Amino acid sequence: MDVITLGSYTAEEKFHIASKYLVPKQLKKHGIKAAQLRFTPKALHAIIEDYTREAGVRTVERTIGTICRKVARRIVTEEDFKSYSVKPADLEDLLGPAKFAKDKDERRDEIGLVNGLAWTSVGGELLPIEVAVMNGTGKIQLTGSLGDVMKESATTAITCIRTRAETLGISPDFYAKKDIHIHAPEGAVPKDGPSAGIAMATAVTSALCEEPIAHDIAMTGEITLQGRVLPIGGLREKSMAAYKNGMKTVIIPHGNIADLAEVDQVVKDNVRFVPVRRIDEVLPIAMPGLLNRETKPNTPCPEPAHGVQTLRQ
């Protein structure tokens, strides 16, 4: 027997299903003519992203049906009703406050904060990783409902950076004099897997070097003790999450280049993919200021490897 895995729909797939099939179906079901009710593309995107969170489109269809019923009532009660166009600004009146509203705060480059990427049963998600470094006795604290594999990735990331401490201009004895706290927000949501390895290593380096990380860069990849970046799964869903959240660059393992063929074209047109083989290639991309830091004699900051490629397909 062959096991056939059916992944969740991406946001773009949901949009096309809604516009070409669900909206006409619900209009017919409620006796509304296409000229009487229209959904703008931005309104459909807002319904998908702010009011539903699922692998399929059943809730999307029910939400569209709710709007159709409210408009149908207006059609039979208002004598001068001609047509209605649903826009994003109308959704709060029709459906109430957004259930899954994005963080509206303006993003900016911050020290110790990196954009990781995660795969979930309902698609890809942006996974922020925060790191704080304090004077202490070398304790490592991990919070945010992290699973065993993710905790091991955090420990591996710290050891990997420790082996490069002098090269990065970090005090070699930081492990004995600094406490490191790694946190993944939304602590009520369980998280696991090795794909946040390079994100954790980057956030730890940023906190120790006090160097901000570019806010429009996201990354995914497993890390080893030697700093190698290993392939991960779910690149298609993760890349869509990066695109939806306004990321301009996504750092991926070199071993995942073949998976770019499955990435949606709209994502390829708007996101730059940078495949890497080692963590030494990741750090200068995520923290451009790291190259300008003054380090100890004979310990220059890492330069991007010659094999680094930039892909925009």
Q: What is the pLDDT of residue 298?
A: 37
What is the DSSP-derived secondary structure letter of residue 80? T
Strands 84-86, 37-39: pairing kind: parallel
Mind telling me the catalytic residues? 195, 238
DSSP 164-225: TTTTTT--TTHHHHEEEEEE-S-TTS-B--STTHHHHHHHHHHHHHT-EEPTTEEE--EE-T
Give the amino acid at 90: D
pLDDT in tens, the chain (313 residues): 898 877 778 888 899 999 999 999 999 999 999 999 999 999 999 999 889 888 789 999 999 999 999 999 999 998 888 899 999 999 999 999 988 766 545 678 899 999 999 887 667 788 899 999 999 888 999 998 888 999 999 999 999 999 988 888 888 888 888 899 999 887 667 788 888 999 999 999 999 999 999 999 999 999 999 999 999 988 988 998 898 888 999 999 999 999 999 888 888 998 999 999 999 999 999 998 876 654 443 334 444 444 445 555 4
What tokens does 182 get? 């790694």
* C-alpha distances out from residue 43 to 6, 34, 61, 63, 83, Å: 27, 16, 14, 12, 16
Q: What is the pLDDT of residue 66?
A: 95
* 194-226 residue pLDDT tens: 889 999 999 999 999 999 999 999 999 999 999
Cα dihedral: 95, 97, 102, 106 (round 10):
130
Q: What is the pLDDT of residue 256?
A: 93
* C-alpha distances out from residue 60 to 19, 22, 57, 67, 78, Å: 11, 8, 5, 11, 27
Among residues 43, 45, 39, the alpha carbon closest in space to that of 15 is found at: 45
Strands 110-111, 212-213: pairing kind: antiparallel
In angstroms, rounded to a whole number, what is the distance separating the alpha carbons of residues 39 and 67?
A: 10
- Rg of the chain in Å (alpha carbons): 23
- Please state the three-class secondary structure of 15-27 as a single string: HHHHHHHHHHHHH
The residues with which 278 forms a beta bridge, in sequence order, are 228
In angstroms, rounded to a whole number, what is the distance separating the alpha carbons of residues 87 and 285?
A: 38
Is residue 238 within 8 Å of residue 134, measured between CB atoms? no
Residue where the block lists tokens 């009660």: 77
Q: What is the pLDDT of residue 25?
A: 95
In angstroms, rounded to a whole number, what is the distance separating the alpha carbons of residues 233 and 271?
A: 18
Is residue 133 within 8 Å of residue 112, measured between CB atoms? yes
Among residues 272, 224, 223, the alpha carbon closest in space to that of 250 is found at: 272
Among residues 248, 228, 250, the alpha carbon closest in space to that of 305 is found at: 228
Q: What is the pLDDT of residue 305?
A: 44
What are the chain's domains?
A: 11-95 (1.10.8.60), 110-292 (3.30.230.10)
Q: What is the pLDDT of residue 309?
A: 53
* 103-160 residue pLDDT tens: 545 678 899 999 999 887 667 788 899 999 999 888 999 998 888 999 999 999 999 9
